[in-house]
Structure 1
Amino acid sequence: MTAQPSIKYYRVYFGIITVVGLCLLIGVTANLWTYFNTGADRATALNLPPNLPESHVPSVEWLPDDEPIGRKMEDFTRQEIVKDYIRGWYQQHLSYMTGETKGLKEYFTPSALPKMQNPIKELTNKGFELHQTDLEHHIELHFYSADGQIVSFTDRQVRLKKRLYQKETHQKIYSTEVVTDYEVVMLLDDGYWRIKNLVRKQPTPFAQDTLQADKSKMVQVKGKRFYVANKPFVPKGVNYYPQKTPWTSFWSKFNAQVISKDFALVQSLGFNTVRVFVNFHDFNKGNVPGEQVEKLRQLLDMAQKHQLKVIVTLFDFLGDYRLLNFSATDRQLETLLITFRTHPAIMAWDVKNEPDLDYKYHDTADVQEWLQWVLKRARSYDPNHLLTIGWAYPENAEMLSKDLDFVSFHSYKSPEELARGIDGLQKKVNTKPVVLEEFGLSTYRGIWAPFGKNEEDQAIYFAQVREVLRQKGDIPSVVWALYDFVDVPAEVVGKMPWNRYPQKNFGVLNTAGKPKKGLTVLVK
């Protein structure tokens, strides 16, 4: 008979195990505490798939499920499947861009992993770098296993944007957009849905929602003129920010009472159009909060109340034209345009303010590709309102004009240079309306601009601009701006006072809200 261990032995044994366990626990806890407090990612420390960046928000739609699919799909499970599936797509994009494939193992099963890694390695070995992003997914569920471990579905009309570069020189070889279907199988593994099968197929169409609107109260273009309810409409406008909260403080300090009072004033002064700006970051990029949508709704409703048409300029302060940021711009565009596609106060969507200024910092072809793509998407979300682009210079305004309803440009140059710019533009674009969307003259004269202009100079300038516009075919105009501002944020023109002080004084109303001499020239 084998001797049994004594009770004392057990106590010693479990005592040793307890001490060792506590030491290990303390050590692991201490390491994690140190790791997290150095700014490290908790997902990495715990071997979890990372959260998606806020810039990657492709559209995901569940189409009607097949019948029968097996077990009924829970809403929570749908959310988890989408989350892990889109993470897998995002990791593909990173792997193609960097040539590093290790991260794919978190999103694909071991059997599927080589099928994903091999094309990436082959492309990298040939000296290429692929930048891509996914923009749309439309998921049709076919099967959900009884044990909740397997799903199969077709991802229809997956929309991908791609740019291929020569890696060493970073020279772009081509840029394209692809629409395709994928047959997908995913397995629940270690608490996460991983892709077991991803097979590309020819795309098949499906029914999509459309909304026909009554355009009788909306601005329309016929030939080179604007009309509302079949009557000629000549935009006579002013660029608008509240006097005390311009630019980056407009939406964060939104005050409906101030705006309503200002719009009533704009109407009483004789203007019929206002141009406003939607800050891409203030509207939280691709995840637009409901309260921001409501602010824009209030603004449009107030404009309608005061019989004003609104040019809504989108994506202000956007300066990222990489493919990985496309989905964020697409979600903001979709949210706003679908929400307001029947609102009668909107004259037009201006899809970007002065994008030609971005040519200095970004590849010109990338900027134009983004613009062309946004215009196409905008037309699909809102077929009712006009589209334009607010170019900084008339010499650039011919670009993409075939995709626009009217051509807009800005000019702060002399009336003579304005006239030459219009002549050059009208030779290239002679079938669509042209709008001078920004012009103006600062009335600041002081220590930072001792030879600056005054109100008399501004009035003369306005009269000369009006005459040029009359001679060139009664071109509509939108002056910069309603008010002299109390302050201008440093991020707009920098901190230097010789830049900021002149920028404060472009208004047709002074800081006390009183009309300057040039106002009568504009509204007579």
Structure 2
Amino acid sequence: MPDDFVLGVNYWPRRKGMMWWSDFDYAEVEAEFGEIHALGLGLVRIFLLWENFQPQPNRPDDGALRDLEVVLNTAAAYGLKVLPTFFTGHACGANWIPSWALGDVQPQRHCPHITEGQETTRGMRDFYTDPEMLESQVLLVRLVTGYFGKHRAIYGWDLGNEPGKLVRPRTPQDGLRWLQLLYEEIRRNDARHPVTLGLSGVYPERDRSFRTKDIAPFQDFLSIHAYPECVPWARDPLDPNVAPFLAVLTATRGGKPVLCESFGLCAPPEGDASSAQLRNSGNTLCATEEESATYYGQVLKKLRQVGTLGALAQAFSDYDPCLWDQPPLDFAVHQRYFGLTTSEGDLKPAGRVFRDFARGRPQRVTPPLTLPLDVPLDELYTRFRNAE
């Protein structure tokens, strides 16, 4: 893996959000990739919204593939690398599901299921074991990696964004076989670029469906999504030690380098229409812009110190108010404000922190820190925190 500490963002356009691929605009991508480049960031994680890229199980969409090529060419022109994420899937508090993938099952309870822009009461078929679902996934992976595997903008391939929030594997073996199948399909088409799976850092604690040690052989680096409010042993929602601790824990369990693929805070600009609503609701995700900037700075420093590959902010930009009455931003109000920039394109304090950190050209610390695994997790975290 490269020696540079990788810095980047998870990307949806500020004025399109999840409707990006169905209303694709080259000029928008060019302008916003220019902003990302100007911040000194190097990696853009994008999401291949499943219903746009595969509207039929046996026929990926040619138009979406052409638009993906435009995105990759634009990234290359700016010297950016791209991490495409397949089978999205879960994003911004909702599950986005192709109509053909719906089944006569109950949806996951924790977030709405959306198909063709509308919420549905149907759940998703078991894409870990359903033969047609598996065949469709292999087909999409084969076409995308076969066609774009030699593109100079590709950083690697991500096989999903927290797939357990779409459908939880019935057994750990189901999840493992699914991952192995798709990993090996990528390797047949692209032997050069690394493969990962975007998982919440709390999976090992709350969900045994994806066991780090078991799934590590079918990834070239491990990815975590780290949020203090998701773990009971965090001191508070601004605890800067949670992300580096989860990174070290995952690296120790899996024996592979770790990318902190998503972290951040909801930080509405002062005076914004929704800021008072969020703060009065007691939403634990809501911070001031100054608190957010401090948190980002602390987490970036600590992630580098423990030997992490790099860090990606949860969102490039806050979302434009034109999207607020559409799912998921109509119900997931906090998701409007995770950006490094405002909805008008101004740099937020957290964005300045990322920019300034990038200007220092940080390098990875090797070898990475490791942890003993025979200690209860809450005690292990206390030891880690106190060892600073």
Whether TM-score is above 0.5 comes out as: yes
Deviation at 1:465, TM superposition (A): 0.7
Rounded to whole Å, the distance in 2 between the matches of 1:325 and 1:490 is 28
**For the structure 1 residues 377 and 489, does the alpha-carbon distance in structure 2 shift closer, same or farther, using more than 3 Å as the test?**
farther
2:28 aligns with one of 238, 242, 258:
258
Matching residue's letter, 1:235: V
Give the deviation of 1:474 after TM superposition.
Answer: 4.8
Residue of structure 2 equivalent to 1:485: 319
Residue 419 in structure 1 maps to residue 244 in structure 2: yes
Supply the distance in 2 between the matched residues of 1:489 and 1:282 (Cα, whole angstroms).
Answer: 21
Contact 1:443 1:454 in 2 (8 A): yes
Structure 2: gaps (5+ residues): 90-96, 98-123, 205-210, 229-238, 269-274, 357-388
Computed over aligned residues only, the root mean square deviation of the Cα atoms, in angstroms, reads 2.1
List structure 1 segments (4+ residues) > 3 angstroms apart after TM superposition.
Answer: 358-365, 394-399, 488-493
The amino acid across from 1:237 in the alignment is G
Could you say which residue in structure 2 is the equivalent of 1:234? Answer: 5
- 1:327 aligned residue: 135
Ranked by relative contact order (alpha carbons within 8 Å, sequence separation 6 or more), the top structure is: 2
Alignment of 1:17-56 (within 5 A): none
Amino acid at match of 2:59: N
Q: Is structure 2 residue 222 aligned with structure 1 residue 407?
A: yes
| Alignment partner, residue 246 of structure 1 | 17
Structure 1 gap ranges (5+) = 1-220, 227-231
Question: 1:64-95 CA deviation, whole Å, 9 max, x = no partner?
Answer: xxxxxxxxxxxxxxxxxxxxxxxxxxxxxxxx
CA drift of 1:473 comes to 1.6
Q: Cα deviation per residue 1:457-483 (whole Å; 9 max; x = unaligned)?
A: 110110121132132125401111111
- Show the counterpart of 1:501: 333
The Cα of 1:366 is off from its aligned counterpart by 2.5
* Separation in 1, partners of 2:174, 2:276: 42
Aligned residue number for residue 469 of structure 1: 303
Amino acid at match of 2:333: Y
**CA distance in 1: counterparts of 2:276 and 2:196, whole angstroms:** 37
CA distance in 2, matches of 1:374, 1:353: 14
1:458 aligns with 2:325: no
- State the shift of 1:271 in Å: 0.5
Q: Is the 8 A contact 1:397 1:408 kept in 2?
A: no
**Greater C-alpha Rg:** 1
Question: Given that residues 387 and 405 in structure 1 are in contact (C-alpha distance below 8 angstroms), is that contact kept between their aligned partners in structure 2?
Answer: yes
- The residue aligned with 1:66 is none
Q: Which residue of 1 aligns with 2:260?
A: 436
Shift of 1:398: 4.2
SS of aligned partner of 1:281: helix
Deviates more, 1:462-471 or 1:352-361: 352-361
CA 1:311–1:489 in structure 2 vs 1: closer, same or farther (change >3 Å)?
farther
In the TM superposition, residue 272 of structure 1 has moved relative to its aligned partner by 0.9
Q: Corresponding residue for 2:191?
A: 383
2:201 to 393, 416, 420: 393
Superposition pairs of residues 275-286 of structure 1, within 5 angstroms: 275-283=45-53, 284=55, 285-286=57-58
Separation in 2, partners of 1:474, 1:448 = 32
How far off is 1:290 after superposition?
1.8
Quickly say closer, same or farther: Cα 1:474–1:329, change in 2 above 3 A: closer
Q: How does 1:162-173 map to 2 (within 5 A)?
A: none
> Does residue 351 in structure 1 map to residue 159 in structure 2?
yes
The answer to whether the 8 A contact 1:286-1:330 is kept is no
TM-score, structure 1 as length reference = 0.52
The answer on whether the counterparts of 1:358 and 1:367 sit within 8 Å (CA) in structure 2 is: no
2 CA distance for matches of 1:364 and 1:492? 30
Q: Structure 1 residues 329, 359: closer, same or farther in 2, change over 3 A?
A: closer
Tell me which residue corresponds to 2:234. Answer: none
Q: 1:259 to 1:476 in 2, by over 3 A?
A: same
Cα distance in 1 for residues equivalent to 2:133 and 2:187: 20
Q: Aligned residue for 1:268? A: 38
Alpha-carbon separation, structure 2, partners of 1:289 and 1:418 = 37
- 1:361 to 1:377, Cα distance in 2 relative to 1, 3 A: closer
Aligned partner of 2:72 among 292, 297, 300: 300
Alignment correspondent of 2:277: 447
- For the Cα contact (< 8 Å) 1:252–1:282, is it kept in 2? yes
Query: Shift of residue 244 of structure 1?
Result: 1.0
SS at match of 1:282: helix
1:256–1:422 CA distance, 2 compared to 1 (3 A): same
Name the SS of the counterpart of 1:508 in structure 2. Answer: strand
CA–CA distance in 2 between the matches of 1:399 and 1:442? 33
Q: How does 1:65-214 map to 2 (within 5 A)?
A: none
